[in-house]
Amino acid sequence: MKLHFKICALFIFLATPLQAGQDAIVVREAVVYSASSSTSQAVGKIAAGSRVSVFERKGGWKEVYFEQESIVGWVRGYQIREASLAPAMEAESGSDSRGFLAGLAAFSRKASGFFRSSNSTTSSGTATIGVRGLSEAEINAARPDYDELKKMQQYASNNVRLVEFRQIGQLSENNVKHLAADKKQAKSTAANRVSEK
Amino acid sequence: MNRNCRYSLILVIGLWFGGMGSTTALDFGELVDLGNKLKKIVSDVPVEEEVRIGGNLVSGLLGAAPLVEDPALQQYVNDVGYWVASRSSRSDLPWTFGVIDSDGINAFAAPGGYVVITLGLYNLLQNEAQLAGVLAHEVAHVVRRHHLIALQKSMRREFLTDLTVLAADDKKKGRKLENLVNAGVQLYATGLDREDELDADLRGVVLAARAGYDPFALLDVLTTIDSINPTAEELTVMLNTHPPIADRLNRLAERMDGRLDRFASGRTNPERFRRVALNP
């Protein structure tokens, strides 16, 4: 019954223009479960590249509908990606995954970097409008820039600033214990352990 | 044991190790014992020394790519990072964050509480929780002293000698410090152990949850990075220095499963994040 209701709701939804965030692409082959747990029954698989619709999210799980095979169920959230997001690769060519305006902001920053580098003695090879990254060669060839370090330290936050920041952001404190490592990691970190209070 | 006594012990152990000739034969038991002593040395490096080493390392990174000239952005990233770091066991470090002007997609940490994120990675993020997740991952590296341990491994005897020289304020200090910085900067190109990255993922999501953010946001970031063409130049260093993202995602999701669900409704603050991004 619940399944029928959701499929009916989907038909109504498809009759209206698609809204950002409701469509998603499966980025890696995903096993579909009947509930938001890997211990629940597996009801199918969806291949990478398939388009699905997302109903809701619960923890690290998202409930999806895969029209091609009429599968409704839960997949791990990281296995799908909002279809409304431009492919991240476009970031390389100057566009931005957060949309046109944010792309402009990014462009503006790159442009300011370009003009700064042409008018100052900063010897960085990265302050250009191009798409060069922080390559291994650049890291290895870099000379320490202590003036930039001082500048960086000027922006450091403090407990006074944090009060307003937390208040506006409605950020609460939670008590959460660290997660146990899996066997492979436990073995490795035991060998590297440095006491943490 | 007060700090001076403890550091004297470091010097003694350091000199003891430094004095061992390369021809000295060691059996396995001795090697294990030696390894434990070295780890103790790393955990006993005084905070001020750790900060000094970290400051030099991050200066190297800033030499490769300067800060983005946007005070509002830099302050915002510092506020997010400081809040996340304050939820760690090393909240007393002088935590300092920065966005560097690089289209590379990566973030780096240095001992003593320094964290930088490239503009390329920042521009891929969609909300404050994702930023918090990335910074929390780097904070975890600092808290666990992963870079100091890696330096100790890569430099072996020289690392100890350098630390002792730094402490003794020797005339050779400048040259030794340069060696240490070079080795540290090289570390940013070669990367940490894969298990250190996974350790930082696990610790990072918990720090984000402690700070009131949706801890699953880090998985969203990793998914985004994973969908980028692996041949992209910006990813070269990231892929060389981190384990396959699919591996990280699988293991992280498995460990989080059911344990952090109640924090999934944590804050993401996309509006505030967008406001800062739109005001360069």
Classify residue A161 by burial, with Cβ atoms within 10 Å: 0-12, 13-18, 19+: middle
- Please check the confidence at residue A78 and state whether its pLDDT lies above 50: yes
Tell me the two tokens of residue B103. 């289209």
- Which among B57, B2, B259, B13 is positioned nearest to B160, based on CA atoms? B13
pLDDT score at B33 = 55
B44 interface with A at CB cutoff 8 Å: no
Chain B residues in contact with A161 by the CB 8 A cut-off are 75, 79, 82
- Across the range B11-21, mean pLDDT stands at 28
- Across the range B55-81, mean pLDDT stands at 93
By percentage, how much of chain B surpasses pLDDT 90? 37
Least confident of A165-179, B14-28, B168-182, B213-227: B14-28
- Please check the confidence at residue B270 and state whether its pLDDT lies above 90: yes
Q: Which of B1, B28, B78 to probe by mutation at the A interface, max A CB count within 10 Å?
A: B78
By CA distance, what is B221's nearest residue in A? A78
Per-residue confidence band for A195, with pLDDT thresholds at 50, 70 and 90? very low
Quote the CA–CA distance of B60 and B99 in Å, as a whole number.
14
Residue with the bigger pLDDT between B190 and B245: it is: B245
Quote the minimal CA–CA distance from A16 to chain B in Å.
Answer: 26
- Across the range A153-157, mean pLDDT stands at 98
Per-residue confidence band for B163, with pLDDT thresholds at 50, 70 and 90? low
Nearest by CB to residue A194, choosing from B42, B203, B257, is B42
CB contact (8 A) between residue B195 and residue A188: yes
CATH code of the domain occupying A2-82:
2.30.30.40
- Across the range B251-279, mean pLDDT stands at 87
Tell me the two tokens of residue B6. 């403890």
Quote the CA–CA distance of B145 and B157 in Å, as a whole number.
18
Tokens 């929390």 correspond to what residue? B136
- Across the range B5-21, mean pLDDT stands at 31
B241 interface with A at CB cutoff 8 Å: no
pLDDT score at B177 = 65
- Please check the confidence at residue B118 and state whether its pLDDT lies above 60: yes
pLDDT score at A7 = 54
Quote the CA–CA distance of B109 and B61 in Å, as a whole number.
10
B219 interface with A at CB cutoff 8 Å: yes
Quote the CA–CA distance of A189 and B30 in Å, as a whole number.
20
pLDDT score at B241 = 59
B89 interface with A at CB cutoff 8 Å: yes
Chain B residues in contact with A81 by the CB 8 A cut-off are 223-224, 227
By CA distance, what is B121's nearest residue in A? A91
pLDDT score at B62 = 92
Quote the minimal CA–CA distance from A93 to chain B in Å.
Answer: 10
- Across the range B32-43, mean pLDDT stands at 57
Chain A residues in contact with B94 by the CB 8 A cut-off are 153, 156
Quote the minimal CA–CA distance from B23 to chain A in Å.
Answer: 25
Is-above-0.90 flag for pTM? no
Nearest by CB to residue A136, choosing from B69, B70, B237, is B237
Per-residue confidence band for A56, with pLDDT thresholds at 50, 70 and 90? confident
- Please check the confidence at residue A110 and state whether its pLDDT lies above 50: no
* Structural domain boundaries in chain A: 2-82, 88-169
- Which among B262, B253, B258, B269 is positioned nearest to B218, based on CA atoms? B253
Please give the DSSP secondary-structure letter assigned to residue B272.
H
Quote the minimal CA–CA distance from B88 to chain A in Å.
Answer: 10
- Across the range A50-63, mean pLDDT stands at 89
- Which among B200, B219, B210, B224 is positioned nearest to B262, based on CA atoms? B210
Tokens 């000199």 correspond to what residue? B15
Chain centroid offset of residue B230 CA = 23
- Across the range B205-218, mean pLDDT stands at 96
Residue with the bigger pLDDT between B141 and B232: it is: B141
Q: Which of B59, B125, B194, B236 to probe by mutation at the A interface, max A CB count within 10 Å?
A: B59
Kind of pairing between the strands at A42-46 and A30-33: antiparallel
CB contact (8 A) between residue B211 and residue A171: yes
What is the average pLDDT score of chain B? 77
Chain B residues in contact with A62 by the CB 8 A cut-off are none
Quote the minimal CA–CA distance from B236 to chain A in Å.
Answer: 7
Least confident of A92-96, A137-141, B127-131, B250-254: A92-96
Contacts across the A-B interface (CB distance below 8 Å) = 318
CB contact (8 A) between residue A134 and residue B100: yes
By CA distance, what is B269's nearest residue in A? A169
Q: Are B99 and B67 in contact (CB under 8 A)?
A: yes
H-run or E-run covering B159: helix B157-168
- Say how many Å lie between the first and final Cα of chain A, rounded: 52
- Which among B129, B126, B105 is positioned nearest to B217, based on CA atoms? B129
pLDDT score at B18 = 28
Name beta bridge partners: A156: none
By CA distance, what is A134's nearest residue in B? B104
pLDDT score at B60 = 86
Per-residue confidence band for B194, with pLDDT thresholds at 50, 70 and 90? confident
pLDDT score at B209 = 97
